[in-house]
Structure 1
């Protein structure tokens, strides 16, 4: 399939991958706290006949250097761009902090039709890294909407990782401790997914295998909110998967010298395959394009 690649330079850095045939659906592809432009992941969608946009949503020109008071309008602008290029149905795919962004965007932007949240959280967290002022303290919300910071759960800075050998660190305990320390702020910071018009697909490694945060518990909390409101939601999980599900064609995630992500390579790949098939099914009815084999 012929794919035309466009560099996007405003209002953010990114790449737009456009199939030769007019797509019926488009996908915004968001990284997590790595901040990279997920070019390879976007190409997987373009190879299936979808318009795909991968953007840098922090750390670029005119953006906060960290995930600190990032305007959700950043992602609404991505929806605008896909609509302008002919996408009638809009999906958003995010992993970890990118999943947090995708879910929140769908809560505030009714033109989002589908969210695939990989290793999600059920609440808004404090900043990861500095804001526009170059400071990472005091704690501030990761996100704003219409200029106002969203309620958030701060991090407990007294937490210390169990690993003291200088190797990769599991930070799941930091989130769990912060929830206990700031329990009074959990309700206000909850992501109100029941308000989203979009279909929601939640993908999480099971149990303690996600070493970054308890994504399966968070997925179940999100699902409970959707169920209580009588709106659809799907949860996909595997016991041997961690924080980084991998779609067919992506290969294994690169090892990290900084963080432990949990899971096994095979488990991450199987979870990614199950999520990929569901995701294509949810996008394709409006797209009207044939399924092509994954690489």
Structure 2
């Protein structure tokens, strides 16, 4: 069991709850995604936003994060809700897919800009040993190592090249060991990706996930726009600050376009109220 500090949680409870509870997990920003949780609650869903690193009594960087952090949050939601949905972006999608593969209480997952493998955790110092981003029952989850010798070719790096290179360098055995066993999750799965993602290869990952599940007779809903990048803004959300020190892909309106494209599938999974 992992004790989660109240400061790392944001509850957004609907006035007329529909029985669905959604755990909202941000990515590498480490933020508490209050806005997204509040949006869902305004539509009739009980939402719990979770900060899973960088908060009180948590690792400073995403490294050796216990998957029990997420199962404990599911425990909280399950006390109030009949259905459990996990929604994660980027690193948060990695967490959502891993958690759903080991917790059979999860009814549905929405993975935004997903990955099909678990990656090495971030390190605070250059000489830190390689460690997994995740642990389960105190043991590290198998991971694809990152190439620490990689250097971006420009001052505005496209990290997708870094991840693609690291994956190729790791070799097929390491990649297979680190592949998320998405076929163990038997519920609804929605994957949302942009074909122009410059952060990591989420579009290819979505195709890999769907193919792996199809071999087990499982259906996966994939929303993929080749003109969009890594960020995804859902209808009703405030777009994030576009200023970043790295490339994300897509044009200025791409995050809203991809969010609008994914919205019908997300509404269906969450059983959301409203017509828009």
Q: TM-score range by the shorter chain?
A: over 0.9
Match of 2:160 in 1: 172
Please show how residues 1-295 of structure 1 align to structure 2 within 5 Å.
10=5, 13-84=8-79, 86-130=80-124, 137-164=128-155, 168-183=156-171, 184-206=173-195, 209-284=196-271, 291-293=273-275
CA deviations on 1:203-247 (whole Å, 9 max, x unpaired) are 0001xx100011100100000111000011111011211001110
Tell me, what secondary structure is at the counterpart of 1:91? strand
Offset of 1:258 from its aligned partner? 2.1
CA deviations on 1:143-167 (whole Å, 9 max, x unpaired) are 0111110000110011111114xxx
Tell me, which stretches of 5 or more residues in structure 1 are unaligned?
A: 1-7
CA distance in 2, matches of 1:53, 1:42: 6
CA distance in 1, matches of 2:123, 2:51: 15
Offset of 1:292 from its aligned partner? 2.1
Aligned residues: 273
Change beyond 3 A, Cα 1:78–1:135? farther
> Structure 1-normalised TM-score?
0.88
CA distance in 2, matches of 1:265, 1:239: 14
> Structure 2-normalised TM-score?
0.94
Offset of 1:264 from its aligned partner? 1.7
Offset of 1:252 from its aligned partner? 2.6
Offset of 1:260 from its aligned partner? 1.2
CA distance in 2, matches of 1:12, 1:127: 23
CA distance in 2, matches of 1:265, 1:278: 23
Tell me, what secondary structure is at the counterpart of 1:265? coil
Tell me, what secondary structure is at the counterpart of 2:56? coil
RMSD of equivalent CA atoms:
1.8
CA distance in 1, matches of 2:154, 2:267: 39
Tell me, which stretches of 5 or more residues in structure 2 are unaligned?
A: none
Q: Indicate if the aligned counterparts of 2:113 and 2:194 stay in contact, CA closer than 8 A.
A: yes
List, as ranges, runs of 4+ consecutive aligned residues in structure 1 with deviation greater than 4 Å. Answer: none
Offset of 1:293 from its aligned partner? 5.0
